[in-house]
Every structure is written in structure tokens, then in C-alpha cells.
Chains A and B, each alone.
Chain A
Amino acid sequence: MTARTTLSRGSEAGPAPADPEQAWQPYQPGDGRPWNLALAAHLLRRAGFGASHARLQQAFAAGPQRTIDVLLRPEADAAAFDRAFDEHEAAAADAGGEHALRGWWLRRMLETPHPLQEKTTLFWLGHVAADGSRAGSARLLQEHVRLLRSQALGDTRILLASLLRDPATLLGHGAEQSHRSRPNERLARHLLENVTLGPGAFSQEDVQEAARALTGGFVRDGRYAFVAREHDAGVKRILGRQGSFAGDDLIDVLLEQPATAERLAQKLCRWLIADEDEPERALIAPLAAAFAHEHDFGKLVETVLRSNLFFSARAYRRKVKSPIEYALGLVIALEGVVSTTELAKDLAALGQELFRPPAAKGWAGGRRWIDEATLARRHNLAADLLRGAGRYGDRLDPHQVARRHGCEREDSAARFLVDLLLQGDRDLDAGALLQAVHGTSGGPAAAARALARALARFPEYQLA
């Protein structure tokens, strides 16, 4: 791998910038903060689901800002891809239900020309945290994800207002009926506590008044219905504002609150930059201010991705890979496509079952992804994916991938795989590692699989 020389262990990323203004300035490679393969891989892990050798090289050659341009606005026809997959998903949801739908969504994540959009859709899925078991129909879940995808990098005001009319969201939060005489407070509370303001930024009265604004919303026969006579058109008083608010107005009121912008910016930083070590308020302030102005989530994502902070040591390997990132990253790096229905089952055992968030707060994530049981299962999943037989068949063939990129010999193939999966994070002697994990029999294909399995077991590999 040509870029090998640009790596030096322990200095993959520069030090964290000190002041907020500098933190959000676009990162420009330079002395002491060189652009290298490790940072390219970092970007592609966070903004998507990992990368193949070719994508990695492309990003390395193009530099950070140009790569981010393409991540935000892919050259390939993403709309046509999405249309084709929408059709697959709709048919699969009808025929095979939720499990088939999960299979297709994972397949989409593997093959999408617009990984940032898909990754951000996943962010919103966890943020909205609708309980899919209450939807009753996989088609509604598919529509839910389609809605999240449509505004994942778009206008958050439109997204939140649309969610109030989205059957899966209402059903998923037990809000399929909201009568004027008995306003349903569940969705209102969830909206204030988890989706916008955050705990402590509102009162019980605000919840009650917000629930009044949402009266008249029903889900009937899988469709949203607004029943005017069940809507309470009276004056509500929410967070100090007063008016005869309905759903859309409620979203406006919530988005006006600085707490909402701060919270979304904070949560996005956790999603893109670091699991722990929360950014201070002063650091978040410029981001929140910009978002409060336009409600443009795409812009928010763009600012974070381009920033000095994102490419600093405060971000590098400071997130634990979610099960999806772990498994898809491996599959994408090895240029294969595997059974995504099988994968969906394994991911559920690892704690990340799509449409089944464990709580209204979504997936806890971070270091909670890793315990003795889930780590053992991660290792065993990698072993299954790379066994060359069994449930996942021989769809992943690291030896062939190495050959395709000109690494024919066993030692160069080993070096290739170390660079592909771990970049410079570990100063590994690839040849010695190969000897250690692989016996004497089985040929080069089996040796390469054994090595890839071993690399996927490294603690560093569990980090995004």
C-alpha cells in the first residue's frame, strides 16, 4: 500500500484545538497535522460504514475537504439507487415483514452511493426511537425510514412536523389516539424530553399543553387521520408562548428554544466525534446558533465533519463501533456482500436490532456496546463471516481482495490487510501475526481469512 509511509503510529490525529472558533474551522492538513490514510479511514467510518481499499485511496488522494464534498453530494445517482431500493423494500416488507425489511436496509447501507445520508438516517432512527413492535406492519416502518431519510440531511423543521403525521412514530410511542377530552401525553412528553429540549428544560404543564396541540391525530387502518372535531383548537401556553397551536406550531415553538438546538448539536457531536468527553457548552454554542437559524441538519453535519475538532485526537478512535459499524465495516472493506437477514439476527444479539430501540432514549451505545458477552459474540460473528463456509458462505475472500490490489504474496497480502483494517493504529509485524494466527495447512486463502479474523478481534478494531 503506497500510503504506508505517511503513517506514523500514535500521531494519526493532531491535538485538540483550544478555542471554539478554531475548533469548527475547516481542517486544512499541514505541519504537525498531516492528512494520512488513518484520517481518511476515520472520516469514512464516521460519515458512513467504512471503506474499501479503493475508496480509502481515493479519499487519501482527494484530501479531506474534497472528500467531504463528495460525501455530501455524491457523484453517483443516489436518487435512482434510492428509488430502486424503495421498491425492493416495499415488496420485501409486504412479503417477508420486518425481518426482510431489516435485511434490505442493511443491504442498502452496504451498497448505497450516499453513505452519509444512510448513516444520518440511522442517527434519526435512534433519536426518534419509535418502538417498531407496535407498528403492526413492516410497510409503516419502511415509510418511517423513508421519511427519516428524506430529511436526514435536510430541514429538521419539516422532519419533525412530518413525524407528527407518521403512523409508525405515533404507533411506536403509543399515540395512535389523541382525543380532545383525553389528550395523549406520551408523544408530547417524548418530543420535549428526548427529541427536542431535553430533561429539565420544561414543566409538566408544558407537556400537557403540548399534548393539547396534538389532539385530533389518529392512526386508522395504517394511515394518519386528522379528526378536526377531536382537535382542541383553544389557546395553549407552551414554554412561555401563547396561541391556538396545532402540531406544526408546536414544532416551531420547540425549535425556537435554544435548548433544542444545543441538544441536537450536542447529540450530533456524540454521534460524529466522541462517545464520552462531551464538548463544553461554549464549544457547542456556535454550532447551535447556526442550527437555530436555519434548522439545516445537513449544514450542521457538514460543519462538524469539516472541522479541526473532527480530525483531532479528541475524535480519533474515541467512539466504540456500533454492531452495525463493526459488521458492515468488515464486509465493505473486504468488498463483499453477505446475507443481511443472517446479519440482522446477529446484530440483534449484539444489542442493535433495527426498529427495536431498547428505550425511548434510543440505543445507549458508547462503551455499553461492549461487554464480555457482546465482545465474545462480535468475535464469533467475525469468525462466521470469515469462515469461508457455513451461514455466510464464502462471500468474503480477503486473499482475493489482496490479489485484486496487487498483493499476491502471503506477506504482502498480510501487510495489505493490516493497512486495510487497522491502518497505522498498531505497529504490527504482519508476517509474525500471520504466523501466530495461522497454522501450516490450508493455503493462502485460509491464511488470509485467519488473519482478517484476528485483526477484527483487536481492541483497536472495536473503536470507530
Chain B
Amino acid sequence: MPTSRRHFLKASLGASALASFASGVPGFLARALAAAQRAQERDTVLVVVQLTGGNDGLNTVVPFTDDVYGRSRSTLRLPAATLHRISADLGFHPDMKEFRGLFDEELLSIVQGVGYPRQDRDHDGAMRAWHTADCEARGAPGGWLGRAADLAWNVDGPGVPAAFVGSIPRPFGLSAEATVVPALRSLEELVLREAQEHGSSPSDNPLLEHVRAVDRRARSNSLRLEPLARQDSGAAGYPSFSLAQDLHQAARLIEADIGVRIIYCELGGGGIGGFDNHANQLGNHCALLRQLAESVAAFMRDLRRIGALPRVLLMTFSEFGRTVSENGRRGTGHGEAAPLFLVGGGLKGGLAGPHPSLTDLVDDAPKHHTDFRRVYATVLEKWLGFDARAVLGEEFAPLDLLRP
């Protein structure tokens, strides 16, 4: 196997990258390179897991001592004894045992009360806000990770900064103006079925040189991916859920180390989404949270095994939380603030921010105290090393979640 890209990066990145470019480089490429260079200096990976449908935060991280919770949830109340407690008044849902384990190891942080101003309680509108990070509809092009991919793209490669792994259509968050962000069901799709060397003499055609360079990288990537793509997820300790299968593929993509910095997965089946429990919520929500907890735990074990835990950060999000009260159909309505999870090796761990009040509500839903774009700014700026302001269009203060 060729020397890994990371070794190459560590050895060669510095002042040399720009200088090595011939003076004839078009201006826009030089600018793109300068913007991308900072992003290239790290090899951290962000894995985003979208929980489609609006996850019920109150039944995920449960404030079991709060009277309002007990009173409001006549059929959905989770008995305190079944919870996996993490503090005197909070506990994980009974089916999230693994998250408690990750929390204890300081591999998991809970950011509580996340939302945004004038939250849209319509699925499309709210998902659009999370995908674009443009809550005021100023007309930012594409999705936030698509813009990040466009910024990270570098003429000198690697040229695939982001990828979606899953079977639903690629979420809008990855829509880029110029970068073709691939949607993969399996890594096999990037493995070349045939390949050859094209011996060549130097050319004065920059496009030809570009294609040649990409061709070399595509072939070397393919060699790395090929043995990994065939690995069995069961043997690697993953359960059979779709999310676990997708995360298994994501781990292989990370292991192949081909420069993909952003990986996106989904739980809930796209469309309106499995988390949208307006009726009979209890059993369905249990099933989904179990899938989330077991899949993510298997992913973390796998990352530890391949030594990638320190450079991977997983972030969950859902378009909104749910109402405090039940709706008479053993379900809940669309709400606002909810907790989101960060999981990985570079975290400080623990709880960030207080649990939102259940007495100071907006239309029966907890209010947010942390704008989700502050979390975005944290993962972009502090974790990936990207220019968060360029991606988000304005300055958001990052949160203090990561270990220095």
C-alpha cells in the first residue's frame, strides 16, 4: 500500500504547496488553493448522522425528576428505574445503554437545548434550515456541508472532501455548487473494475495534467478501498441495522484514508422520517434509539480498533424536538429545542449547557438556548479546521467541547 495521505500531508504541507505551483496558475485556482490549504492541514473527519423526523429529546435524555415531564407524558413516560442515569436528574432512554457507556468514557458529549430563533415547525422548513444553516433565508447557495466541500476542494487534490453513505437520496446539506458530492451505497462504487497505467509525456495542457493526476489518485484510492469494501460488517461487530451498515462503510472510508473529511449518514428512512412519532411513539422510538445507540457504539469500537478514534467526530442532529405534552394519540407534536450528541475521541465529554426548562415553554415545546450554528462553527472551525465564517456566512461563537 502506498504511503498514506496523512504521512504525505505531514511531511509536505507547509509553505511549499503554493510555491510549488507554476506561475501560470489561473487566479481563481490560486485563490481556491489558498482557501483550501488551511483545511488540508488536518486529517480530522466529521461524521454527521441525521435523525429524520424530529427526535423527541425529552425521551432521549430524560429529565426524570421533573414533575412536568411526569405529568405531561401519560403513556410515554419512561420509568426512572429503567433509565441509564448520567446525573442526579438526567438519564438516557432505556434502549441507549451503549450511550451511557460512551458517556462514562468521556467519548460522548451532550449539547442540550439546541435550536434556532423563530424555529420552523414544518419538516421541510426546519430541515432546510439545518441543511442550509441559513435560518434567515438570505439565499446562501447549497447546503452547509456542500459549501464546506466547495471551500475544501483543492486543485492539487484530494478532490472528494465529502460523501454521503446510505440508501436515501443525498440530503440537501451536502449540495455543493461546484463539487460533485457522491452518494454511496457501498464503497465498491469507487473501486475500479479495471485499470491501467497510461504512460505519458509532460503536457502543456493543464486540464490534461489535472485528469492525469486525478487518475493516479483514483487508482491508488481504488487499491486501498478494494480489500476494505469487501469486509464483512458482522465480523467487525456491527448489528444488521441499515445505519450500522452505513457506519461500517464510513469506517472503511476513514480507514482507506483517501482524504474524505465529511461523511454523512441517516437514520429514519428519509422522507418525513421515522422520528416523526405522532402516534404510537413508544415502541417505534425505542426501536430507533436502540438502532442509533448500538450502531454508533459499534462504529466507535471499530474506529478504536483501526486507531482512528482520535481523528473522528460524530455529530447527530434532528430538525426539531417534540412537544412536552402528548397529543391524545400516544404521540407528540413538532417541537423546538432538543439535545444533540457529539461522539468521538477528541471530546471533553459530559453535558454542555443546562437542560431546558419545562415550565418556560414556547407553544408546548422547550426553548433553545444554543443556536445550532454554534455547534456547526465548532465542528467546522475547531475540529475540521475550516473557515466557519466563510461557510456559515456570519460569525458564530464556537462551543468549548473539544480537547485542546
* A contacts, CB < 8 Å to B: 275-277, 317-320, 349-351, 358-361, 364, 366-377, 379-380, 383, 436-437, 450, 453-454, 457-460, 462-463
Assess the A372–B194 pair: CB atoms within 8 A. Answer: no
Assess the B180–A359 pair: CB atoms within 8 A. Answer: no
Rounded to whole angstroms, the CA-CA distance of A318 and B176 in the bound complex is 24
Assess the B177–A379 pair: CB atoms within 8 A. Answer: no
Q: Which residues of B contact A276 (CB under 8 A)?
A: 26, 206-207
Q: Does B268 sit at the interface, judged by CB under 8 A?
A: no
Rounded to whole angstroms, the CA-CA distance of A359 and B142 in the bound complex is 7
Closest to B179 in A: A368
Q: Does B20 sit at the interface, judged by CB under 8 A?
A: no
Q: Which 7 pairs show the lowest CB-CB distances between chains A and B?
A: A371-B159, A351-B180, A364-B178, A459-B211, A359-B177, A372-B218, A373-B182
Q: Does B141 sit at the interface, judged by CB under 8 A?
A: yes
Q: Does B155 sit at the interface, judged by CB under 8 A?
A: yes
Assess the A349–B182 pair: CB atoms within 8 A. Answer: yes
Q: Which residues of A contact B163 (CB under 8 A)?
A: 373
Q: Which residues of A contact B179 (CB under 8 A)?
A: 368, 371
Assess the B192–A380 pair: CB atoms within 8 A. Answer: yes
**Of B141, B142, B177, B217, which contacts A372 at CB under 8 A?**
B217
Assess the B218–A376 pair: CB atoms within 8 A. Answer: yes
Assess the A376–B198 pair: CB atoms within 8 A. Answer: no
Assess the A370–B210 pair: CB atoms within 8 A. Answer: yes
Chain B: minimal CB distance from A282 (Å) = 18
Assess the B196–A454 pair: CB atoms within 8 A. Answer: yes
What would 23 A/B residue contacts be, using CB atoms closer than 8 Å? A275-B207, A276-B26, A277-B26, A318-B207, A320-B211, A358-B177, A359-B141, A360-B141, A367-B155, A368-B179, A372-B190, A372-B214, A372-B218, A373-B182, A373-B190, A375-B211, A375-B218, A376-B192, A377-B190, A383-B194, A437-B194, A454-B196, A459-B215
Contact bitstring B195-220, A, C-beta under 8 A = 1, else 0: 11010100001111011101101100
Chain B: minimal CB distance from A128 (Å) = 16
Assess the B141–A453 pair: CB atoms within 8 A. Answer: no
Chain A: minimal CB distance from B58 (Å) = 34
Rounded to whole angstroms, the CA-CA distance of A377 and B3 in the bound complex is 24
Chain B stretch 116-173: residues in CB contact (< 8 A) with chain A = 141-142, 153, 155, 157-160, 163
Chain A: minimal CB distance from B187 (Å) = 11
Assess the B195–A457 pair: CB atoms within 8 A. Answer: yes
Assess the A319–B180 pair: CB atoms within 8 A. Answer: no
Rounded to whole angstroms, the CA-CA distance of A340 and B37 in the bound complex is 40
Assess the B142–A358 pair: CB atoms within 8 A. Answer: yes
Assess the A358–B175 pair: CB atoms within 8 A. Answer: yes
Residues A376 and B180 in contact in the complex (CB < 8 Å), given A370-B211, A371-B159: no
Assess the B198–A458 pair: CB atoms within 8 A. Answer: yes
Rounded to whole angstroms, the CA-CA distance of A369 and B159 in the bound complex is 11
Chain A: minimal CB distance from B31 (Å) = 14
Extra 15 A-B pairs, beta carbons < 8 Å, given A373-B160, A379-B193: A320-B207, A349-B183, A351-B180, A358-B175, A358-B178, A359-B142, A368-B153, A368-B180, A371-B157, A371-B159, A373-B190, A376-B192, A453-B194, A462-B211, A463-B208
Rounded to whole angstroms, the CA-CA distance of A352 and B356 in the bound complex is 45
Assess the A364–B177 pair: CB atoms within 8 A. Answer: yes
Q: Does B189 sit at the interface, judged by CB under 8 A?
A: yes
Q: How large is the interface on B (under 10, 10 to 19, 20 to 34, 35 or more residues)?
A: 35 or more
Rounded to whole angstroms, the CA-CA distance of A277 and B29 in the bound complex is 12
**Of A350, A358, A369, A380, which contacts B176 at CB under 8 A?**
A358
Q: Does B222 sit at the interface, judged by CB under 8 A?
A: yes
Assess the B178–A368 pair: CB atoms within 8 A. Answer: yes
Chain A: minimal CB distance from B387 (Å) = 20
Rounded to whole angstroms, the CA-CA distance of A258 and B194 in the bound complex is 51
Rounded to whole angstroms, the CA-CA distance of A376 and B229 in the bound complex is 15
Assess the B207–A379 pair: CB atoms within 8 A. Answer: no
Assess the B208–A459 pair: CB atoms within 8 A. Answer: yes
Q: Which residues of B contact A277 (CB under 8 A)?
A: 26
Q: Does B243 sit at the interface, judged by CB under 8 A?
A: no
**Of B177, B205, B215, which contacts A375 at CB under 8 A?**
B215
Rounded to whole angstroms, the CA-CA distance of A436 and B198 in the bound complex is 11
Contact bitstring B243-283, A, C-beta under 8 A = 1, else 0: 00000000000000010000000000000000000000000
Assess the A377–B189 pair: CB atoms within 8 A. Answer: yes
Q: Does B347 sit at the interface, judged by CB under 8 A?
A: no
Chain B: minimal CB distance from A392 (Å) = 14
Assess the A372–B200 pair: CB atoms within 8 A. Answer: no
Rounded to whole angstroms, the CA-CA distance of A275 and B205 in the bound complex is 12
Rounded to whole angstroms, the CA-CA distance of A458 and B196 in the bound complex is 9
Q: Which residues of B contact A436 (CB under 8 A)?
A: 196
Chain A: minimal CB distance from B105 (Å) = 34
Closest to A275 in B: B207
**Of A318, A368, A376, A459, which contacts B190 at CB under 8 A?**
A376
Q: Which residues of B contact A458 (CB under 8 A)?
A: 198
Chain A: minimal CB distance from B179 (Å) = 7
Residues A370 and B214 in contact in the complex (CB < 8 Å), given A317-B208, A349-B183: yes
Q: Does B303 sit at the interface, judged by CB under 8 A?
A: no
Rounded to whole angstroms, the CA-CA distance of A320 and B214 in the bound complex is 13
Chain B: minimal CB distance from A431 (Å) = 15
Chain A: minimal CB distance from B100 (Å) = 38
Chain A: minimal CB distance from B158 (Å) = 7
Closest to A352 in B: B180
Assess the A379–B200 pair: CB atoms within 8 A. Answer: no
Q: Does B300 sit at the interface, judged by CB under 8 A?
A: no
Closest to B211 in A: A459
Closest to B142 in A: A359
Chain A: minimal CB distance from B252 (Å) = 15
Rounded to whole angstroms, the CA-CA distance of A372 and B177 in the bound complex is 18
Q: Which residues of A contact B206 (CB under 8 A)?
A: 276
Assess the B196–A457 pair: CB atoms within 8 A. Answer: yes
Q: Which residues of A contact B182 (CB under 8 A)?
A: 349, 373-374, 377
Closest to A323 in B: B180
Q: Which residues of B contact A350 (CB under 8 A)?
A: 180
Rounded to whole angstroms, the CA-CA distance of A463 and B198 in the bound complex is 15
Q: Which residues of B contact A275 (CB under 8 A)?
A: 207
Q: Which residues of B contact A370 (CB under 8 A)?
A: 159, 210-211, 214
Q: Which residues of A contact B212 (CB under 8 A)?
A: 459
Chain B: minimal CB distance from A412 (Å) = 22
Chain A: minimal CB distance from B143 (Å) = 10
**Listed residue (A373, A450, A463) with the most chain B CB atoms within 10 angstroms of its CB:** A373
Assess the A372–B159 pair: CB atoms within 8 A. Answer: yes
Assess the B189–A371 pair: CB atoms within 8 A. Answer: no
Q: Which residues of B contact A376 (CB under 8 A)?
A: 189-192, 218, 221-222
Assess the B158–A372 pair: CB atoms within 8 A. Answer: yes
Assess the A371–B207 pair: CB atoms within 8 A. Answer: no
**Of B175, B207, B222, which contacts A317 at CB under 8 A?**
B207
